[in-house]
Amino acid sequence: MSSTHPPTDPRATVFALPACRSAKAAAVLVAEDERFFTELRECLAAEMAAVDSRLATTRREAGQQGRDVLDREGPVAMERDQEIHRLTARHRDLQRYGLDLCLGRVIPLGGGAPRYIGRRGVSTADGRTLLVDWRSPGAEPFFAATHGDPRGLRSRRRYHWTAGRITDYWDEVFDRELLDSASGQQAEQAAFDDQSAFLASLGASRTDKMRDVLGTIAADQDAIIRADSAGALVVDGGPGTGKTVVALHRTAYLLYADPRLGHRRGGVLFIGPHRQYLSYVGDVLPSLGEEGVLTTTLRDLVPEGVRAQAETDPQVARWKGDADVSAIVDAAVRFHEDPPTDDLVIETDWRDHVVTAADWAAASAAVRETGVPHNEAREPILNEIVDILLPKDDVDGGDVEVGEQRRALRRHRDLRATLHRAWPMIEATDLIGDLWTVRAYLRRCAPDWDNARVDALQRREPTAWTVADLPWLDAACRRLGDSQIADRRRRRAADEQSRERAMSDVVDHLMASDDTELQVMSMFRIDDMRAALIEDDPDDSPRDRFAGPFAHVVVDEAQELTRAEWQMLLARCPSQSFTIAGDRAQSRVDTDGPWTHRLTAAGFRQVREHTLTINYRTPEEVMEMAAPVILAAVPDATVPVSVRRSGRPVHCARLAELDQVVRDWLRENDDGVACVIGAADYSPPSTRVRSLDPLTVKGLEFDLVVLVDPDEPLVADPEHHRARAVDRYVAMTRSTGELVMVSR
């Protein structure tokens, strides 16, 4: 989404208006902007030079001082690395945009100098603000002003940038008296073809990346973007209403405006419907100055998701999705937590100890209350047993001897062997595989389920994972924890001893070769100074960067998520701060009630809902044909109202004409992207043409959509009827310009 920067010559104009808009190039309309952009160009050049200079100096210092072991391992080096990272990020940001950082300007109702709004804030060397960051409160009127509520503005101007030059702009005047007194002449230096650039941007050719729409955020969208982060906020709306736009820009806004959501405070996780979608929107957040947001799909949250297949039985999928997964998984794990019921005599050099059944039960219960995962609970349970057998205030034999007794008990073979049998290590895949292949096990763990459900969920192959299994595997991973933690702890202890020995050798060498008058190296006889030289490695266990916890989670195309999948996401965000975008009418399965009901049932405590009703993407010609398709299957669907016509009616063709339709479009259009939907064996003749199925086009948009086989009869089965209708509706409404319906 970055652009080519405009000429660096300070005398060059930033305006490149075509002949048909030559009237807009009048000096009375653009002179003030020209002066502003000249100053902005100089300010950005100075900032780039300062960043480059500081970055070069910092890197040079790192190279010069990096040979000094004290500096390399000390806090100074860490601060320098952080500064290099910050400066590098700033350099990338300055390179991404030039003058096209500026989105537009506003003039207050009382008159005065224009206030210019940008993708980020820019100030002069003396602290004067040139560009107001779009996320700041001072920029809100630029997006929120309407003729009904002008937000204290007299006028607003938006720029349309092409390759770093302004190729159009449009003005909106909110002062009615000013409009009435204009008498057909230019009013307060405003150009009145106020929809030209806006409509042009809606109908502009697409690429394989989501286009930049920050400058055309509508007032209803902006209100949702700036809503606070408390609880779950649902953005509901039909195709083309800007749900994805809102979700992405809200992410950037919250990271800027809400200190609780910063990357060092949990950060944000963004969930998309499929990987093609993530690639499509991948440039949006970086273009808004946010590069630290983690993006993924629900499937990719679990390792087994890579090869998971769709659940073939809809009823089985529904049962797995509606279940209280955490409760059943917890019961399945507890089945394997079996504290001994017999006394165990532990013989030591000091005395014999007896571990009773009550001792085992008390130790196990105490550790369970702490929430330690099953596989990571052995050592804590062992410590609890030792505390029971040898209380900390037991000073018999002296403190040193008590410490030796504790170590002897923790290492005692019989005690550890008994604990390992009572508390076995379990893999998540084994646990869930057993539920689906051992009927009695599932029956015990889900006592409220009837025999028909238990029987239906049984299968022959335990690891034949389906998408409906993923929340179960995820819950099992969280409940069980790391099964290799004991081995890793032993390896880490050995590594620490090895590092300490190596560092002792280094310190001995430094002290032996120290010929300074003050004998500086003698400071390393102090334990704290020796420890400072050893690299801090507190935990070498594998870390799942998608495990959380996160401060905020954004979910797009969320209409089909099940209760189990919502719980999977709630486990990653204890604060329950969510942005949820979706359209209930685009769900292939009949959803259970409104958003509030569904999310509350999944465990959300606070749910707000906003509805978008204006379709900015899909032309009227396409919506006129798509609306009856969805209303026939989902009578209460909210069909959005399109704001424009493309002038190209929906065209029908035969399958034999498919390739010719695509090639004719390529020949007539030098840019833009097309998609053939529903023809799995079709080979696109160009990289500008893709061939996808209806499930992988959600969230995407194309200049041309060719939908194959739309006339296949819809069967009587209500569920299949809805799924087929939704697939058609979703596919048809991906078009931003032209739709061709191909029948076999």
Q: Is the pLDDT at 86 greater than 50, yes or no?
A: yes
For strands 607-612 and 344-347, give the pairing: unpaired
Note the pLDDT of residue 543. 56
Mean pLDDT computed over 546-556: 92
pLDDT digits (tens, 9 = 90+) for 334-392: 999 988 999 999 888 888 889 999 999 999 999 989 989 999 999 999 999 998 988 65
691: β partners: 676
User: Residue 213 to residues 184, 279, 482: CA-CA distances in angstroms?
Assistant: 32, 17, 44
Note the pLDDT of residue 389. 87
Residues 199, 642 contacting (CB under 8 angstroms) = no
* Strand order across the beta sheet in which 232-237 lies: 294-297, 268-272, 552-555, 578-582, 232-237, 607-612
- Which residue type does 199 have? L
Note the pLDDT of residue 499. 61
Mean residue pLDDT across the chain: 83
Q: Is the pLDDT at 286 greater than 70, yes or no?
A: yes
Of the pLDDT bands very low, low, confident and very high (cuts 50, 70, 90), residue 489 is low
Note the pLDDT of residue 496. 61
Q: Is the pLDDT at 494 greater than 60, yes or no?
A: no
Q: Cis before residue 549, ω within 30 degrees of 0?
A: yes
Residues 690, 277 contacting (CB under 8 angstroms) = no
Mean pLDDT computed over 550-561: 94
Taking each helix axis from N to C terminus, what angle separates 399-411 and 413-422, rounded to the nearest 10 degrees? Answer: 50
Q: Is the pLDDT at 7 greater than 80, yes or no?
A: no
Note the pLDDT of residue 468. 97
| Binding-site residue set for ATP | 237-244
Report, in this order, helix, strand and coil percent for the chain, each rounded to 5.
50, 15, 35
pLDDT digits (tens, 9 = 90+) for 383-418: 999 989 886 545 444 555 777 888 888 889 999 999
Two tokens, residue 134: 């779009």
Note the pLDDT of residue 699. 86
- Tally DSSP H helices, then E strands, for the chain: 27, 21
At 102 the three-state DSSP class reads strand
| Binding-site residue set | 237-244
Kindly give, in sequence order, each residue whose CB lies less than 8 Å from that of residue 624, ignoring residues fewer than 6 positions away: none
* All domains in the chain, ordered by first residue: 19-184 (no CATH), 223-301+546-611 (3.40.50.300), 315-532 (no CATH), 620-742 (3.40.50.300)
Question: Which of 674, 668, 665, 661 shows the shortest CA–CA distance to 705?
Answer: 674
Note the pLDDT of residue 593. 80
Q: Is the pLDDT at 177 greater than 80, yes or no?
A: no
pLDDT digits (tens, 9 = 90+) for 308-338: 999 999 999 999 999 999 999 999 999 999 8
- From 575-589, 664-678, 713-727, the region with the lowest mean pLDDT: 713-727
Q: Is the pLDDT at 454 greater than 70, yes or no?
A: yes
Two tokens, residue 541: 């266990």
Two tokens, residue 269: 């996780």
pLDDT digits (tens, 9 = 90+) for 631-689: 998 998 989 999 888 889 999 999 999 999 999 999 999 889 999 999 988 999 999 99
262 vs 543, higher pLDDT: 262
Note the pLDDT of residue 201. 58
pLDDT digits (tens, 9 = 90+) for 734-743: 999 999 999 8
Of the pLDDT bands very low, low, confident and very high (cuts 50, 70, 90), residue 163 is confident
Two tokens, residue 306: 């890579």
pLDDT digits (tens, 9 = 90+) for 586-596: 998 887 688 99
Residues 124, 108 contacting (CB under 8 angstroms) = no
- From 59-68, 515-524, 642-651, the region with the lowest mean pLDDT: 515-524
What is the C-alpha to C-alpha distance for residues 473 and 430, in angstroms, rounded to an integer? 10
Note the pLDDT of residue 469. 97
Question: Which of 1, 95, 86, 84 shows the shortest CA–CA distance to 45?
Answer: 95
Note the pLDDT of residue 403. 79
Mean pLDDT computed over 285-295: 81
What is the C-alpha to C-alpha distance for residues 349 and 347, in angstroms, rounded to an integer? 7
What is the C-alpha to C-alpha distance for residues 400 and 390, in angstroms, rounded to an integer? 13
Q: Is the pLDDT at 199 greater than 60, yes or no?
A: no
Q: Is the pLDDT at 184 greater than 50, yes or no?
A: no
Mean pLDDT computed over 511-533: 51
What is the C-alpha to C-alpha distance for residues 637 and 4, in angstroms, rounded to an integer? 42
Note the pLDDT of residue 282. 80
DSSP letters of 581-593?
EE-GGG-SS--SS
Whole-model pTM?
Answer: 0.82
Question: Which of 130, 164, 133, 160 shows the shortest CA–CA distance to 44?
Answer: 130
Spell out the SS3 assignment of 202-261.
HHCCCCCCCCCCHHHCCHHHHHHHCCCCCCEEEEEECCCCCHHHHHHHHHHHHHHHCHHH
Two tokens, residue 165: 């030059």
Q: Is the pLDDT at 256 greater than 60, yes or no?
A: yes
Note the pLDDT of residue 187. 46
Q: What is the DSSP letter of 342?
A: S
Q: Is the pLDDT at 629 greater than 90, yes or no?
A: yes
